[in-house]
A and B are shown apart, each in its own frame.
Chain A
Amino acid sequence: MITLAFAWRYVWARPMAALLNVLLLSLGLGSITFLLLVSHHVERAFERDLAGIDAVVGAKGSPMQLILSGVLHLDVPPGNVPLAAVNALKKNPLVAEVIPISLGDNLQGYRIVGTSPAYLTHYQATLAQGRVWDAPMQVVLGATVARTLGLQLGQQFAGSHGLGAGGHAHGDQAFTVVGVLAAQGGVIDRLIITDTASVWKVHESAQGVDEEDRQALEDDREVTMALVRYTSPLAAVTFPRWVNTTTDMQAAAPALEVTRLLHMLGLGTDVLRAFAGMLLVTAGLSVFIALWNAVRERQGDLALLRMLGAPAGRISVLLMTEALWLALLSALCGLALGQAFVLGLGWVLGLQSQLMATGLLWPNTLWVVPALAAVVALCAAVLPVWQAYRSDVLQLLQSKG
């Protein structure tokens, strides 16, 4: 305890050097905190939204696009597939569940998703208000949608065509809000969910001119894609191949695609990580120089401590403790900086509603930050400590002779 107190006093005897070192170390540690938090947010979001979905079946094209559009709702879908083909999937013994997804419209940027109530069950969504739809054109709002758009139960609205805000409005077909979901922190929070039939209704009545057209449209009804759950893990080997070879659709495995995606993102984070590492090394050098100078300036003081009976080991511990004080302060500042960066970025990009959960997170990987701080500080302290360890007490005895 006394060592801590004296180390603290020695550190702040040179306040400018101490502040500079804390600042430098904090910047490095802050960048690392930021990287760790962002990748944690992204991975958590993916894990949460992909849970329980073994495959996504949709139009041929990029499998990653299929996952991004249909599960994470970040991209546009590659195309539509016939409803009949999707229904045929249900007959495959490897398939336990098929949830259709129909995309096409939005309300102020929030996607209107046509699906079956199984979608809600799959994400274990609970209703905060109202009920689930029992007829087309009734919708259940995700928590974020309800909050930001301020829609109430019973209110009506018209969707716009397309997946981004600003498409032409389907003014003639109004949706009615019948339920609001409880916030879940997942993709479902920012969706407007309705029956698959609603999407057909909106588009058919918009395009069909007479009864004959309408009938024709009904025959080749389409959905955008289907989420599939297997009966057995073994299906992962055979089902996608079966879909890809025997149908005009493709099957994409979310787990594979997301691994691929994270790997690609990894190239970017590697650059950032290297940058943060460089910052840390610079900070470590600065701490080293500060400690080295401190030891040189204090050579006499340190020798006097030896003269007062402090073993060389105790002096080393004192200097190590000084370095660790810097590390502790920097770790705290760095973590605060990193969290602030993430919150700030989320706020600026409006990502809270997409990938990032709001609030402070402390994933286990974040323990790396204080550990790194300690390692950098201790590495920087090694040489100065050694220098102090072997410092000559005899130099105190000035009367040379």
Chain B
Amino acid sequence: MPRYEQAYLDVWRRATLNSPQVRTACVATKRSMIQSRRLQFAYGAGQRLVFPDVAVAQGSVLLLSGPSGSGKSTWLALLAALVQPQQGSLTVAGQDLGTLARRSADAWRARQIGFLPQKLHLSAALTVQHNLEVAFWAAGMPVDAQRVQQVLAQLGVADLAQRLPSQLSGGQAQRVALARAVLMQPRLILADEPTASLDDAAAQDAVQLLVQAAVQHGATLVIATHDARVAQALASCMEEPPILLHLAPALPPKGSGTAQGSAWA
């Protein structure tokens, strides 16, 4: 068993010692959100990434880990329909991404995917409110100012609406970025290293907020992280354990296509 997974499991066992039912997953009873089979992707003639099969139910949390070059970014990009699967199948929120035309992929992403990037990427040119409104513009939809207010209020930052990102603290900025991620009521939220560069207390808050927001919107949460604190924080705020997906480094170009890494629920 690779060291990463072991580390996660150790953290998880320690954190959930008092709840014996944590290891029992109930994937089968819920609707499937992510389902992949024999998914493969290669950039040009480079290394071929072969992803383990996964089945993730709606409302679950998936922790994605893996060393550099193992294809974490690519897997996220595949989920967000930024790139198309080259082999195998990937179904997200009921949509077979292998058959989604490039043109419709943008509209699909706008509706289904909430994204919390590591560097937040709040536009310095826009106020908090406009940073959220721009999501409606990006989706090609009329601006719903009421929805913007609602989401900001849910995350406790309604009073910051007129500020510029430069006038926000790190925690406030994190909340605004999260507000933007859940604005369109996505069914899948992708969080990329949400705790990097946060101290322990802030990391704990960030994860809790993320889970809260996902639960509130009934969204499935995928967190790509190296940070063991994420698992800890999850354990303290969730009854069910997260699904762990650890990706192993890619095989050379002529790899045999054996499944690497492992996924289990």
- Contact between B130 and A9, CB atoms less than 8 A apart: yes
| Cβ-neighbour of A310 out of B72, B83, B124, B137 (below 8 A) | B137
- Contact between A396 and B117, CB atoms less than 8 A apart: yes
> Could you say which residues of chain B place their CB within 8 Å of the CB of A12?
125
B154 within 8 A of A: no
A401-B125 contact given A309-B109, A309-B111, A394-B77, CB 8 Å threshold: no
- Measured in the bound complex, the distance between the Cα atoms of B129 and A6 in whole Å is 12
B149 within 8 A of A: no
- Measured in the bound complex, the distance between the Cα atoms of B119 and A304 in whole Å is 10
A300-B125 contact given A6-B137, A308-B110, A308-B115, CB 8 Å threshold: no
- Interface residues in B78-126 (C-beta closer than 8 Å to A): 80, 82-83, 103, 106-111, 113, 115, 117-119, 121, 123-126
A307-B73 contact given A9-B130, A300-B119, A396-B117, CB 8 Å threshold: no
- Interface residues in B210-232 (C-beta closer than 8 Å to A): 224-226
- Contact between A309 and B139, CB atoms less than 8 A apart: yes
- Contact between B72 and A401, CB atoms less than 8 A apart: yes
List 11 extra interface pairs beyond A300-B121, A309-B109, A397-B76, CB under 8 A.
A2-B142, A306-B106, A307-B115, A314-B137, A393-B77, A394-B77, A398-B119, A398-B196, A399-B193, A401-B67, A401-B70
Residue of B nearest to A311 (CB): B106
Determine how close the nearest CB of chain B comes to the CB of A71; give it in whole angstroms: 60
Q: Mark A317-330, 1 if CB is under 8 A from B, else 0.
A: 00000000000000
- Contact between A301 and B71, CB atoms less than 8 A apart: no
Determine how close the nearest CB of chain B comes to the CB of A397; give it in whole angstroms: 4
Residue of B nearest to A308 (CB): B138
Query: Number of contacts between A and B (CB, 8 Å)?
Result: 121
- Contact between B138 and A310, CB atoms less than 8 A apart: yes
> Could you say which residues of chain A place their CB within 8 Å of the CB of B107?
309
A interface, by DSSP: helix, strand, loop or mixed?
helix
> Could you say which residues of chain A place their CB within 8 Å of the CB of B113?
307, 309
| Cβ-neighbour of A2 out of B118, B137, B225 (below 8 A) | B137
Determine how close the nearest CB of chain A comes to the CB of B145; give it in whole angstroms: 12
| Cβ-neighbour of A304 out of B72, B117, B140, B143 (below 8 A) | B117
> Could you say which residues of chain B place their CB within 8 Å of the CB of A396?
115, 117, 119, 121, 192
> Could you say which residues of chain B place their CB within 8 Å of the CB of A308?
109-110, 115, 134-135, 138-139, 180
- Measured in the bound complex, the distance between the Cα atoms of B120 and A307 in whole Å is 12
B66 within 8 A of A: yes
- Contact between A397 and B192, CB atoms less than 8 A apart: yes
B243 within 8 A of A: no
> Could you say which residues of chain A place their CB within 8 Å of the CB of B247?
401
B residues at A contact (CB < 8 Å): 66-74, 76-77, 80, 82-83, 103, 106-111, 113, 115, 117-119, 121, 123-126, 130, 133-140, 142-143, 180, 192-193, 196, 224-226, 247
A307-B66 contact given A398-B119, A398-B192, CB 8 Å threshold: no
Give 27 CB contacts A-B under 8 Å: A2-B137, A9-B125, A10-B123, A13-B123, A14-B125, A298-B123, A300-B117, A300-B121, A301-B123, A304-B121, A308-B180, A309-B106, A309-B108, A314-B137, A393-B82, A397-B72, A397-B77, A398-B193, A399-B72, A399-B193, A399-B225, A399-B226, A400-B69, A401-B68, A401-B70, A401-B71, A401-B72
Determine how close the nearest CB of chain A comes to the CB of B62; give it in whole angstroms: 14
> Could you say which residues of chain B place their CB within 8 Å of the CB of A333?
none
A2-B143 contact given A10-B125, A401-B67, CB 8 Å threshold: yes
> Could you say which residues of chain A place their CB within 8 Å of the CB of B77?
393-394, 397
> Could you say which residues of chain A place their CB within 8 Å of the CB of B106?
306, 309-311
> Could you say which residues of chain B place their CB within 8 Å of the CB of A3?
137
A337 within 8 A of B: no
> Could you say which residues of chain A place their CB within 8 Å of the CB of B130?
6, 9
A307-B140 contact given A13-B124, A397-B73, A399-B192, CB 8 Å threshold: no
Determine how close the nearest CB of chain A comes to the CB of B177; give it in whole angstroms: 10
- Measured in the bound complex, the distance between the Cα atoms of B193 and A396 in whole Å is 11
A305 within 8 A of B: yes
| Cβ-neighbour of B110 out of A10, A298, A309 (below 8 A) | A309
- Measured in the bound complex, the distance between the Cα atoms of B81 and A42 in whole Å is 63
- Interface residues in A52-95 (C-beta closer than 8 Å to B): none
The 7 closest A-B pairs by CB, nearest first: A309-B110, A13-B125, A310-B138, A308-B138, A397-B73, A401-B72, A398-B118
- Measured in the bound complex, the distance between the Cα atoms of B125 and A298 in whole Å is 10
Determine how close the nearest CB of chain B comes to the CB of A9; give it in whole angstroms: 6
A401-B69 contact given A309-B106, A310-B106, CB 8 Å threshold: yes
- Contact between A307 and B109, CB atoms less than 8 A apart: yes
- Measured in the bound complex, the distance between the Cα atoms of B76 and A10 in whole Å is 29
Residue of B nearest to A297 (CB): B124
Determine how close the nearest CB of chain B comes to the CB of A221; give it in whole angstroms: 81
| Cβ-neighbour of A400 out of B73, B119, B138 (below 8 A) | B73
> Could you say which residues of chain B place their CB within 8 Å of the CB of A397?
72-73, 76-77, 117, 192, 224
> Could you say which residues of chain B place their CB within 8 Å of the CB of A2?
133, 136-137, 142-143
Determine how close the nearest CB of chain A comes to the CB of B65; give it in whole angstroms: 9
- Measured in the bound complex, the distance between the Cα atoms of B159 and A74 in whole Å is 72
- Measured in the bound complex, the distance between the Cα atoms of B231 and A163 in whole Å is 100
- Contact between B137 and A307, CB atoms less than 8 A apart: no
Determine how close the nearest CB of chain B comes to the CB of A239; give it in whole angstroms: 71
Residue of A nearest to B224 (CB): A399
Residue of B nearest to A13 (CB): B125
- Measured in the bound complex, the distance between the Cα atoms of B77 and A399 in whole Å is 12
